[in-house]
Structure 1
Amino acid sequence: MSCPICGEDSVKQFRPFCSKRCADIDLAKWLNGSYSVPSQREDDLDDEIQDDVEVKDRPH
């Protein structure tokens, strides 16, 4: 199996990566939003915005 970041052979300790460096690069891509799962619905963002507005309008 090759490392998905650099293509080198993977190492058992860091599988599926070849090193901690490549594992950290992959983690950084997840954390900064480079990897994402597309939504099936186009109006998901609109729903989230509307939900936030409704919550803020309610008295505590």
Structure 2
Amino acid sequence: MHLVVGREDVPDALFSERLNLKAAGTCVALSRRPERASDLCNALLLMCLGDQPGFGGEIYQM
């Protein structure tokens, strides 16, 4: 990731979301949960209105 920090062609929002996803994945792993980073991302992206994101999705939302 250190190669991306100084690049102007990488949007800051994209880089920030990637860091958030990595941090959420680490928190879930420390909680000994089976979810992976792709599961966390899907938990939020595939939600319908009124759905609950589940434990991993809630961590990623923070």
- TM-score, reference length from structure 2: 0.30
User: Larger C-alpha radius of gyration, 1 or 2?
Assistant: 1
Question: Relative contact order (C-alpha < 8 Å, sep 6+): which is higher?
Answer: 2
